[in-house]
Structure 1
Amino acid sequence: MTPFRAWPDPRPPGLPPPTASAPYADELRRLIIAHKENARYALARPLGGVLATTVLSALGEGRGVWLCPVPSARRTVRQRGHDPLRRITKAAVRTLRRQGIDARLADALRLVRRPDDQAGLSAERRTANLAGAFAARSRWAERLTDQPVLLVDDVITTGSTLAEACRALESDRIPVLGCAVIAATRRYSASGS
């Protein structure tokens, strides 16, 4: 897999540069769903390896990074029996550290309002649905000031979730370098235009 810039089309305002490892299709799609929905915990390690490759591409020449996963609703985590993205992010951190990158997990976001289900919503409706859904955890503001921070998620569709998460961090003066995701749906423009 060769990571690529995965700008959604249309691009939501405030979205930092998103990097994905592959299109959300075929075997990768099945692996993400099996880990997320069927609690196939062992898949966190290979998916974390894919995410680590994406992080390296998004990071460029940097040697240190804080990875901030987009949080899931507590109810969703309880229903699944685990927090898939956090598990994958932890695996990515371990992989990156073995490669000499000073990677760390930053649980700097919290969900303050549970948005409606996003399935079937247009890009504009997703943006409206997510407005104000996230907030930065204040104890992270000082720690992450002037640090390289990447938002991470499993899949980027319209980019609305990542744009809102970025807004929440930056409103607390936590600058976001970019986004790293495992996969991108076909709603992207690889050219970045």
Structure 2
Amino acid sequence: MRPSPEPPGLPPVYAAGRYGDEVRAVVLAHKERGALGLARPLGAALAGAVVRATAATGALPGAAAPHAVGHRWNPPGRVPSAADSGHGSRSGPRPAASGLEAPRTALRDAAGPLVPAAPWSAPRPLPLLLVVPVPSARRAVAQRGHDATARIARAAARELRRRGVPARAAAVLRQRRPVADQAELGADGRLANLSGAIAAVGSAVPLLAAAPLVLVDDLMTTGASLAVAAGALAAAGGRVVGAAVVAGPHDSPND
């Protein structure tokens, strides 16, 4: 999803859904009303968006690629039966490699011509993936009694590990100065409000250089928080491969 206008430095953003109706109710119940049990389903939804972000950029070779033509997600190591799918040949199961089922037929690329299926090799361990939550203001955390974004990030990392992706939640960003409440600010105001306000913890620099990073948040409105956070990680030597949120704006120009 891309906001309009788009702030400079915003990484590719994937959302589990749009902010409205049931999604809005669940997010607010968790964040504002202390329904902490909702962290697990919200984390599972966020994990799906993280998977899409890494699949789109190739950050985790062999990781799940939802909706890729000719592929289906399977838990790593599972070899599907011929009856599992309604597409392709039913002559029997094919090898599964790191969570992606080998396509039973040739693939059709975006332009239309048929292209041969790529050769498949034995599964290999996936690299570590760091799930980095956008930092919440200390004032907001104190008022709510918990850090909603960090909690969802931890739940997402657990869900990713359950799916076979070696993920770790890394709360390595901090707000180094107070910022104004962003609720009433527009895109330019939010960007100015956060500019220079987010930085990586110095002790986390070696960790940031060791693994690809996916920024996560519960919501994306203008993209300012994600763009500023991505800049802070890059300044500390991190490699941000994408961003994932539970919900994005209804009026985003892209899905």
TM-score range, shorter chain: over 0.9
Per-residue CA deviations over 1:168-189 (Å, capped at 9, x if unaligned) read 1111111211110000012422
In structure 1, runs of 5+ residues without a counterpart are 1-5
Q: Is 1:91 the counterpart of 2:155 in the alignment?
A: yes
- Structure 2 equivalent of residue 47 of structure 1: 42
Cα contact 1:157–1:187 (8 A) shared by 2: no
Q: Does 1:72 align with 2:67?
A: no
**1:164 CA displacement:** 0.5
SS in 1 for 2:240: coil
Aligned to 1:36: 31
Measure, in 1, the Cα distance between the counterparts of 2:32 and 2:196. Answer: 26
The answer to whether the 8 A contact 2:42-2:246 is kept is yes
Indicate the structure (1 or 2) with the bigger Cα radius of gyration.
2
What residue in structure 1 maps to residue 12 of structure 2? 17
Q: Secondary structure at the match of 2:239?
A: coil
CA contact (8 A) 1:14 1:167 kept: yes
Is 1:190 the counterpart of 2:239 in the alignment? no
What TM-score do you get using the length of structure 2 for normalisation? 0.71
What is the distance in 2 between the residues matched to 1:126 and 1:88? Answer: 23
Q: TM-score, normalised by structure 1?
A: 0.93
The alignment partner of 1:97 has SS state of helix
RMSD over aligned Cα, in angstroms?
A: 1.2
Aligned AA for 2:21?
D
CA distance in 2, matches of 1:55, 1:147: 15
Which whole-Å deviations, capped at 9, do the CAs of 1:35-56 have from their partners, x for residues lacking one? Answer: 0000000000000010011111
CA contact (8 A) 1:158 1:187 kept: no
In 1, Cα distance between equivalents of 2:192 and 2:186: 10
Q: Is the 8 A contact 1:69 1:151 kept in 2?
A: yes
The structure that is helix-richer by fraction is: 1
Relative CO higher for 1 or 2, CA cutoff 8 Å, sep ≥ 6? 1
Cα 1:128/1:187, change in 2 over 3 Å: farther
CA distance in 2: counterparts of 1:42 and 1:125, whole angstroms: 34
Where does structure 1 differ by over 2 angstroms across 4 or more consecutive aligned residues?
A: none
Match of 1:57 in 2: 52
Q: 1:159 aligns with which of 212, 219, 223?
A: 223
What SS does structure 2 have at the residue aligned with 1:42?
helix
State which of 236, 243, 248 in structure 2 corresponds to 1:172.
236
Measured in 1, the distance between the counterparts of 2:132 and 2:187 equals 23
- Distance (Å, rounded) in 2 between the aligned partners of 1:130 and 1:54: 24
User: 1:113: Cα distance to partner?
Assistant: 1.3
Per-residue deviation at 1:136? 0.7
| Alpha-carbon contact 1:112-1:134 (below 8 Å) kept | yes
Distance 1:72 1:121 in 2: 17
Q: Partner residue of 1:134?
A: 198
* Secondary structure of 2:140 counterpart: helix
- Say if 2:137 and 2:179, in contact at 8 Å, map to a contact too: no
Deviation at 1:140, TM superposition (A): 1.3
Distance 1:172 1:141 in 2: 6
CA distance in 1, matches of 2:129, 2:52: 12
Flag the structure with higher strand content.
1
Provide, for residues 123-151 of structure 1, a one-character-per-residue CA deviation record: whole Å limited to 9, x for no partner: 11111111111011111111121511000
Residues 108 and 140, structure 1, Cα contact 8 Å, conserved in 2: yes
